[in-house]
Amino acid sequence: MVSNGISNTAFTLEVFGRKLTQHSETGIYLHFNRAITMFINFWYAAEESRNITDTPVHVKMLGQEFALFRDTAGKVHCVSNICTHRGASLAHGKVRGDAIECPYHGWQFRGADGVCAKIPSLGKDGKIPARAKVDSYPTQEKYGLVFCFLGDLPEAERPPIIDIPEWGDPKWRMTTMSVLWKVNALRGVENTLDPAHTEFVHPVMGFQGDREDYEIPKIDLIERDWGTGAKVAFVTPGAQGSVKAEVRGSGFTTEAESGHHGPTTTYTWIQFSPVAWSRQYTFNTPVDAFHTRKFFFQARNFALDPAADERMDVRTREVMNQDRVVMERVQPFFVPLSPTEEVIVPADRVITRYRERQRDWQSKGWLMDLDALDAAPKNKSYAIPSPARRSSKGWALDAIPLRPAGNAAAQAAE
Ligand code: FES
Ligand SMILES: [Fe+2]
């Protein structure tokens, strides 16, 4: 089974010594130019739990390929998809007990540690080379999703998955959905952190610029361990059919706090009335630098009857699509490297802080080097480094290129 059918993302050509990459769907030529796009060492939502069975699933994340499967004891595993024998796709093989069997020559790799447990052609007593292992990534099942830790940090140092206190709480009704956007994940996150777009992009939430007294008051940052947010009050039309009208909060100014947790998780808590809340969480998984799979959760503490789910989801989809239409057209495709290539105003304050935090993660050496990946010859594959690489040497595939650790701001100025 193929989870997200995106394979060819880019074609590269060189013009006057400049490497340009063409987006496979928009046809736009891009120059990576050290773009900040994807980070290792975070938990990424890979797939809905219910879709991970004893038939392996092929999942693309951070532009790399993975095989996910549930072993016969029910434990979910995630391994690098490239068989270290001669490169076959493990996701198209079979589950055998606690291992995945390659479809090409039947080598078996244990899900828990990626160690090769069987090479049929060596016979029963053959010695299995230690280098035959594949990278295996920590997994967690939470909120109905499978999360994979794509990186090599030891357990105690891993940034946590965001807490969703409303999950499983009977005072809240939760709906979920997943969509694929042709948008760079970080650009998409910036849209969630942007309080000034609501007035113009979402007719049920704003007046499309028709209010003379519209402004975004000074934003106070709310700093949390792995992200920054801000609370902003909105005057909303409460148009017929809107949530605002449904909860009769028209005398109350809607308040919303939005923020991020790590590079690709966001939350938005909207208070429509003194008692009616919607709490949204999105896990934005970069399928690659050009596509984002959004796993979206929406909790509400009103209209708890499941019969209301569809009505809520229809509205949510409409609002998400309004964002998508704008976001799929922004240029450049990636956030510009230099703030001098944009004009930033106070309403963009959370976004500016989010970018600072990206520099911090880059300084830790967690930023993938897309230029180096792009320049790699076609006879080269990589793997995201797994925790086992910290203690064990001798890997068939090199770890993907990363921007060097150290002062990221200084690197940007080079
Ligand atoms: S390529 Fe996987 S066993 Fe040969
Ligand atoms: Fe929006």
| Extents of the domains making up the chain | 38-159+366-414, 173-335
Ligand nearest to C-alpha 192:
2
**What is the whole-number distance in angstroms between the Cα of residue 266 and the centre of ligand 2?**
12
Q: Are 146 and 76 in contact (CB under 8 A)?
A: yes
Ligand 1 lining (C-beta closer than 6 Å) = 83, 85-88, 102, 104-105, 107
**What is the whole-number distance in angstroms between the Cα of residue 272 and the centre of ligand 2?**
16
Would you state the structure tokens that stand for residue 233, as one six-digit string?
Answer: 């009050």
**What is the whole-number distance in angstroms between the Cα of residue 197 and the centre of ligand 1?**
50
Residue 176 has what pLDDT?
96
Superfamily covering domain 173-335? Naphthalene 1,2-dioxygenase Alpha Subunit; Chain A, domain 1 (3.90.380.10)
Ligand 1 nearest-atom number relative to CA 88 = 1
Residue 8 has what pLDDT?
45
Would you state the structure tokens that stand for residue 210, as one six-digit string?
Answer: 């028709």
Q: Are 412 and 337 in contact (CB under 8 A)?
A: yes
Q: Give, using CA atoms, the residue closest to atom 3 of ligand 1.
A: 105
Residue 7 has what pLDDT?
46
Tens of pLDDT, residues 206-245: 767 777 777 888 899 999 999 999 999 877 776 666 776 7
Would you state the structure tokens that stand for residue 29, as one six-digit string?
Answer: 């030529």
Ligand 1 nearest-atom number relative to CA 105 = 3
Q: Which of 389, 384, 380 is nearest to 367 (CA)?
A: 384
Residue 5 has what pLDDT?
47
pTM given for the model: 0.91
Residue 18 has what pLDDT?
53
Q: Which of 334, 387, 314, 370 is nearest to 63 (CA)?
A: 370
Ligand 1 nearest-atom number relative to CA 83 = 2
Distance CA 330, CA 341 (A): 14
Distance CA 402, CA 409 (A): 16
Tell me how far apart the terminal alpha carbons of the chain are, to the nearest angstrom.
45
**What is the whole-number distance in angstroms between the Cα of residue 252 and the centre of ligand 2?**
21
- Say which CATH architecture domain 38-159+366-414 belongs to: 3-layer Sandwich (2.102)
Q: Are 349 and 356 in contact (CB under 8 A)?
A: no
Ligand 1 nearest-atom number relative to CA 106 = 3
Distance CA 347, CA 349 (A): 5
Residue 28 has what pLDDT?
55
Q: What is the mean pLDDT of each run of 10 residues along the chain (414 residues)?
A: 49 56 58 78 98 98 98 98 98 98 98 98 96 98 98 98 97 96 97 92 76 82 96 76 70 87 97 91 97 97 96 93 96 85 92 94 95 90 98 97 83 59
Cβ-Cβ contacts under 8 Å for 71 (sequence gap 6 or more): 54, 77, 95, 97, 98, 99, 111
Using DSSP's 3-state secondary structure scheme, residue 151 falls into coil
**What is the whole-number distance in angstroms between the Cα of residue 398 and the centre of ligand 1?**
18
Mean of per-residue pLDDT scores for the chain: 90
